[in-house]
Amino acid sequence: MTPSFVHGRDAAPLRYETIGQAFDATAAAWGMRDALIVRHQNVRWTYGELKQRVDRLAAGLLALGLKPGDRIGIWAPNCSEWTLTQFASAKAGLILVNMNPAYRLSELEFSLNKVGCRALVLAERFKDNEFLGALRALAPELDSCAPNALRAARLPHLQSVIRLGSHDTPGCLNFDAVMQLGRPEDHARLEALSNELQPDDAINIQFTSGTTGLPKGATLSHFNILNNGYFVARALRLHERDRMCIPVPLYHCLGMVMGNLGCMTHGAAMVYPAEWFDARLTLEAVAAERCSVLYGVPTMFIAELEHPEFSSYDLTSLRTGIMAGAPCPIEVMKRVIRDMHMEQVTIAYGMTETSPVSFQSSTDDSIERRVSTVGRIHPHLQVKVVDPQGRVVARGSQGELLTRGYSVMKGYWQDPERTREAVDEAGWMHTGDLATLDEEGYCNITGRLKDMLIRGGENVFPREIEEFLYRHPKVQAVQVFGVPDQKYGEEVCAWMQLKPGTTVTEDEIREFCRGQIAHYKIPRYVRFVSEFPMTVTGKVQKFVMREQMCQELAVSADRTA
């Protein structure tokens, strides 16, 4: 048999340098080209101007007494300060801790204390989330302490609170003020760090979703994320004349690695249309800035395509981009290529723990390949598909996907037990995803180990049913999952969003399935909804749907029920 093992060959070598060294080289090469455009802040900086601000902020952070290896959190929506903090912390050797703007009190407390953040950069608020109010609730000492001298009982590691905006807040430093703190000796220290910091140093902590237990802090190095951002953008054939629209959140790998680092390593411009995803503002940014690249998860592309004013925007500047973060419906991909002029759009697949991308389609892959697979292995990485006993399966056979190579995280922060559960002795990261590899090395993600349901002894994979139901002319989006059943163990449930102005019954959906898919795959329960429960990054939360159905059906959520 041909084993399900692939490794990525590429003429371009891995870049063994720090993010700061790569950033300085880009600024030297393309200093006069646009680097950062933030439409909601009226920011428009060249790489030369961005470097000046990054260096001032990095020196200011050193002036606060922060040292290489210290953790600095950032809790803010997309903005220019986020990007300045990303690059400045890297140059100062600080470990940036990405914090989800949707966090509430308990999540904020857990994150800050888990990794021992010494500093926190935060916005005043976002939507209905009062960031400063939440921090005060955890650290009332903030109201009476001097700036850079917080000593809080519930947040014992936190010393410096740096707030965005121009208002004065007791106990806090203003972001712009920190940029003025650097003394000549701090700038000299920053220059020395350029040669002292090592590519294998930890530089970023990103918390996983925590669907099982508390969130884990995936710890990533310069080497991990710099190379991944570089090779993701290289697969798009990115160059210094490109302008990338980044409507995805920066706290996520798709924004800060595939977006910011992808642009930086190729001299391209980063364009932020808004603080958070907004379909209209994204379309406006693409048209006004003549963006050639657009990123998003499938739900974002669907929202853009379905926007009532979609046809009024000139999107002809678009060439390529990435759809990632969730399985891509085939019909959505076809519409993106046809209606958004993204003939070279690619699909990317990976996970936070692998920096994130492991597979990506090519801009010159056939449309059939791009709509039915996640492409082929990324350069300098290895992947294999294994059975439940850990043995490599034959090409075309389904099993769990494992990844090894430069992209695999250093580990979960101060959690060796969970690190060992995820990364085995041979260095393989166990993704938890089910996949197949064909004879040419193209990968198809067939589902999640935890999403698979067993109905009457038959293994059922939701992705297969979802792809079939997308063929129904009235179905806009669908999510399939299992709910407990006394007779069969589990039953198939489908939640659907219908296309505007259409109606359909549950029986019509089941009739559409009869004779087309196996009887045990036909959904017993069908629900029509206006929206799916989602994370802020656009990932659908099937466990929430399952819990709601269990309440409706008055059954236990325990799969063994």
pLDDT at 211: 38
Say if residue 277 is in the same domain as residue 423.
yes
Share of the chain above pLDDT 70, in %: 97
pLDDT at 536: 64
Structure tokens at 48: 């030369």
Say if residue 279 is in the same domain as residue 428.
yes
pLDDT at 561: 29
pLDDT at 557: 59
DSSP labels, 494-541: EEEEEPTT----HHHHHHHHTTTS-GGGS-SEEEE-S---B-TTS-B-
CA dist list (Å): 139 to 99, 152, 156: 17, 5, 9
CATH number for the domain that contains residue 103: 3.40.50.980
Would residue 238 count as lying in a domain?
Answer: no
Q: What is the mean pLDDT of the chain?
A: 93
3-state SS of 119-150 is EEEECCCECCECHHHHHHHHCHHHHHCCCCCC
pLDDT at 559: 43
Per-residue pLDDT tens for 17-46? 999 999 999 999 999 999 999 999 999 999
Per-residue confidence band for 291, with pLDDT thresholds at 50, 70 and 90 = very high
Mean pLDDT value across residues 181-200: 98
| pLDDT surpassing 70 at residue 558 | no
Rounded-to-integer distance, Cα 400 and Cα 407, Å: 18
Say if residue 439 is in the same domain as residue 484.
no
Mean pLDDT value across residues 479-498: 91
Say if residue 127 is in the same domain as residue 176.
yes
Mean pLDDT value across residues 536-542: 76
Look at the pTM and tell me if it is higher than 0.75. Answer: yes
Per-residue confidence band for 209, with pLDDT thresholds at 50, 70 and 90 = low
User: Taking Cα atoms as reference points, which of 501, 365, 361 lies closest to residue 444?
Assistant: 361
Mean pLDDT value across residues 316-325: 94
Would residue 420 count as lying in a domain?
Answer: yes
| pLDDT surpassing 70 at residue 560 | no
> E-strand spans in 411-457?
411-412, 429-437, 443-448, 453-455
Tell which of 413, 428, 448 closes a domain. Answer: 448
pLDDT at 212: 41
Say if residue 391 is in the same domain as residue 470.
no
Q: Domain count of the chain?
A: 3
Compute the 3-state secondary structure of the chain and give helix, strand, coil in percent, each to the nearest 5.
35, 25, 40
pLDDT at 256: 98
Per-residue confidence band for 449, with pLDDT thresholds at 50, 70 and 90 = confident
Which residue range is the domain that position 329 belongs to? Answer: 248-253+268-448
Per-residue confidence band for 210, with pLDDT thresholds at 50, 70 and 90 = very low
Say if residue 73 is in the same domain as residue 182.
yes
Per-residue pLDDT tens for 510-529? 999 998 888 889 999 999 99
Q: Which residue has the higher pLDDT, 459 or 390?
A: 390
Per-residue pLDDT tens for 95-136? 999 998 888 888 899 999 999 999 999 999 998 889 999 999
Q: Which residue has the higher pLDDT, 73 or 213?
A: 73
CATH number for the domain that contains residue 508: 3.30.300.30
CA-derived radius of gyration, the chain? 24
Per-residue confidence band for 327, with pLDDT thresholds at 50, 70 and 90 = low
Say if residue 282 is in the same domain as residue 403.
yes
